[in-house]
Structure 1
């Protein structure tokens, strides 16, 4: 019996087993390598200051084109693309001397510099976080449309029950990076008296309402337009916007638990471990995977119960944010390796990366717990995998910034520091990060439009790539346009 096109689309995104962790790592390595090449070009040539049309083109090709090609044309040979990004970076770094910044020369220090220094933000804008969050948003937006084309390998699509894939990592990374920046408000409060729980909940619900509204609009649109669905992803009615919308209020609740366990990483691991115990030692795990859908809860059990895992990922992101966001204290030039590891931002990020990675391999290893990763359950190994991956990726971006822009945080005024920060940040990635949720919403709308107007499964490689390139250019143009107009759309 011939299947309808909708049934073909649903089958196309269902029943996958994914690929290996090493495969996901090798493909996604194109992101930090693109940032590395961009940073070396900026450090050696100052190509992106001022931001000319040529600079726009190179910026787009590096930070959008490389990601698109990594997940499509070069998906079967990721290390070829990685070398094509790494070799020019190494050659340029070795052959070219650093170029002076294209701005006013620094004035001689004055007596009031110490006062101006004190006015610098305690939580300065960190280019390496902006670049990474922008890159994660970029690859997420590309994947949600590319998955509907045959040029996008099936091993990258979300797995059905057990396994690892690029898109599984993308969903978790979206939540993790949201956690990284969400901790800023808690850090700004510092050691002062924390607002009452009722006030924190009210504030968090205000942030949640737009996301819950978007989730409802998506639900109505999908049902009303008879759009192809993958029910085992989140359930019959639940979607990712609901997961994002409920994170802030539950994170506010966990701030109270912070008094008992003064560590976001500790809270994250405790929540994920307790959830894993419930999955393994009760019938909860089998309920999520095979129970009949008889009522509203059972119809949406994947979305509701996996929320516990995503909340643990969000808390893990907050843990990294407490390390990455604050200003690093000045260290002596002759500081020992142990001092650098303990007190520098890069050293701390490397440490937390090793911690999450060790826990992940213990949870999945032969001599450990022998658990399998499940994005559908958002179980303990999935939480640890997402935390490990994002931690070391952010640590790589921090290392790039540390070695190529060593004077970034040595400015004597806030304005000078902000200028140095912008010079060290890709404009494309800055734009994607600045209006991330708005761009993500546009990406979802364009994905729906493309799928309703084009037979994506029947398109050739050339047609598929042309569509994906046009889509990526559109998203980038909108993001850069909003940034150029100094507009921030807060959802």
Structure 2
């Protein structure tokens, strides 16, 4: 199903020679640079979200009549379908075709929705400009806070990750979107860094102004439980799928162990060393540590050569069998040597966690004010950070730093992920909050008499106007059950790639016989089944487990509260016998 790494198209190359150290080579492999292709590939997701909000503004009653299943199907069709068509080579040979179609549809629906909103504004029905001038909140916390802005951003991170883990096994998957071997940028290289960015963005100290000792201990305990859960997922992955590529994370390491390690160390740092009341910004130690790590990887420490170059030289100079034997012998040397990629990359991802923590501490308290100007300000901040970090790519282009490497987690990779996530978050903020800021109804300040009278005159119009478009239930579902969504996606990927498709085409290697026209329907059906399983199967299992737990707890409580039956002693006088029976009746009534 997959293609050989050497057959992947090299979109761009960096010079492997360092300009300040004559004769020193960073690497021996070509660099596959597909950074702009990655931005274009995720554009249909944002355009689909914008089209969904605009459609609900054009037809407000659709939000009430659709129901949960209707909302799920609508959001799935508008948000996911164009992306699935973008990452496969059929029906369009170029990924620009589905992106262009998605852009045209989004433009048409958004223009129609804005025209309707502005027409109602000219009739004086919506006083949408008053809150920004009077300082009133423009929309509730559910519409502008984490449930609307950050939630949809997190959901749009999980969707392409789960779609790509199945699409890479299909024969029509676009190779430039796959993982790079060592250096370069690809769509599937984004997933790990984006997960770390999300962990730092929604860290426990992002919203709080100050935390006392007991609150920090409780938060640290909660984060420890989450890390243990990730570690358990990593152990299950290690037992179920032991035949993973050792060049990616190592022999005994995988993505869950990386996320657990970064989450544990990052949470301990932010709660114990960098609490919210601390004056030291998390970005400062992150930048210093990242600079020291880059120096160690470069011509000073030459750590990158130790990690990457032996494999590259073996693959380039030795035959395939000899290279595999040399790689196996080197992997058996020790734990660190066998898992050096996964262990070393944790340092760079830890710096990315601290940088995302800094972004969250700046953005989330501002978004809590729920004013449209503050949302616009956060969008501008994210766009500025994205532009600044993406401008740093001139350093690896000039040979002054290593190119982006997911295996190393170097400074270029951290800067690229930070810029990508900030740009993605700014686009999601604009798509999510545009119509929520325009749609009203909004409160009018009682300090201005003229505005209060105008509001009283048009009170019936304000009460009859439709509310802003609700947040996407599809993306809320993905955000609330993110880990479960990812785990179910991995299970469905294994079930589809190892059971369903081989049985359907009658051979284990179904790639050569699978028609290209079947790739997109299989991928869309997989995403729909994944969403339905997360929406109904997972809550049903949780309700069943909760019911069993309540039943067990209730039975145990009844056994503890059941009164003990006391037999009256024999040969008591009649008066003492009556007193004993009366005491027994009172005890029974009190227990009931």
| TM-score for both structures, normalised by structure 1 | 0.80
In structure 2, what is the Cα distance between the partners aligned to 1:299 and 1:244?
A: 19
Contact 1:18 1:156 in 2 (8 A): no
In the TM superposition, 1:331-346 aligns within 5 A as 344-346=374-376
RMSD: 3.7
Distance of aligned partners of 1:361 and 1:84 in 2 relative to their CA distance in 1, 3 Å threshold: same
In the TM superposition, 1:71-110 aligns within 5 A as 71-72=87-88, 73=90, 76-96=93-113, 97-98=116-117
* Other-structure match for 2:195: 174
In the TM superposition, 1:40-439 aligns within 5 A as 40-46=54-60, 47-52=62-67, 54-72=70-88, 73=90, 76-96=93-113, 97-98=116-117, 124-181=145-202, 183=203, 185-195=204-214, 201-223=220-242, 227=243, 229-255=244-270, 256-258=272-274, 262-280=280-298, 281-290=300-309, 292-293=330-331, 294-326=333-365, 327-329=367-369, 344-365=374-395, 366=397, 369-406=400-437, 423-439=469-485
Contact 1:431 1:483 in 2 (8 A): no
Distance of aligned partners of 1:305 and 1:420 in 2 relative to their CA distance in 1, 3 Å threshold: farther
1:30 aligns with 2:44: yes
In structure 2, what is the Cα distance between the partners aligned to 1:121 and 1:27?
A: 29
Contact 2:390 2:419 in 1 (8 A): yes
In structure 2, what is the Cα distance between the partners aligned to 1:488 and 1:19?
A: 47
Contact 2:477 2:535 in 1 (8 A): yes
Superposition deviation, residue 307 in structure 1: 0.9
1:467 aligns with 2:529: no
Distance of aligned partners of 1:130 and 1:196 in 2 relative to their CA distance in 1, 3 Å threshold: closer
- Secondary structure, in 3 states, of the residue corresponding to 1:186? coil
Deviations 1:90-133 (A, max 9, x none): 22333341499xxxxx9xxxxxxxxx99x979994341221121
Distance of aligned partners of 1:295 and 1:11 in 2 relative to their CA distance in 1, 3 Å threshold: farther
Distance of aligned partners of 1:192 and 1:371 in 2 relative to their CA distance in 1, 3 Å threshold: same
Distance of aligned partners of 1:75 and 1:388 in 2 relative to their CA distance in 1, 3 Å threshold: farther
Contact 1:232 1:302 in 2 (8 A): yes
Distance of aligned partners of 1:404 and 1:296 in 2 relative to their CA distance in 1, 3 Å threshold: same
Larger Rg: 2
Distance of aligned partners of 1:351 and 1:120 in 2 relative to their CA distance in 1, 3 Å threshold: closer
User: 9-18 or 170-179: which moved more?
Assistant: 9-18
Superposition deviation, residue 261 in structure 1: 6.5
User: 13-22 or 308-317: which moved more?
Assistant: 13-22
In structure 1, what is the Cα distance between the partners aligned to 2:240 and 2:234?
A: 10
Contact 2:152 2:476 in 1 (8 A): yes
Deviations 1:126-171 (A, max 9, x none): 4122112112111100101111112111111110111110000122
In structure 1, what is the Cα distance between the partners aligned to 2:143 and 2:211?
A: 15
* Other-structure match for 1:3: none
Query: Which structure 1 segments of 5+ residues have no match?
Result: 1-7, 101-105, 107-115, 334-339, 413-418
Number of residue pairs matched by the alignment? 447
Deviations 1:296-325 (A, max 9, x none): 111111111101122222222222222332
Distance of aligned partners of 1:355 and 1:221 in 2 relative to their CA distance in 1, 3 Å threshold: same
Superposition deviation, residue 190 in structure 1: 1.9
Contact 2:441 2:467 in 1 (8 A): no
In structure 1, what is the Cα distance between the partners aligned to 2:273 and 2:44?
A: 38
- Secondary structure, in 3 states, of the residue corresponding to 1:358? helix
Contact 2:86 2:96 in 1 (8 A): no
* Other-structure match for 2:16: none
Superposition deviation, residue 398 in structure 1: 1.0
| TM-score for both structures, normalised by structure 2 | 0.67
Distance of aligned partners of 1:34 and 1:187 in 2 relative to their CA distance in 1, 3 Å threshold: same
- Secondary structure, in 3 states, of the residue corresponding to 2:408? coil
Contact 1:27 1:75 in 2 (8 A): no
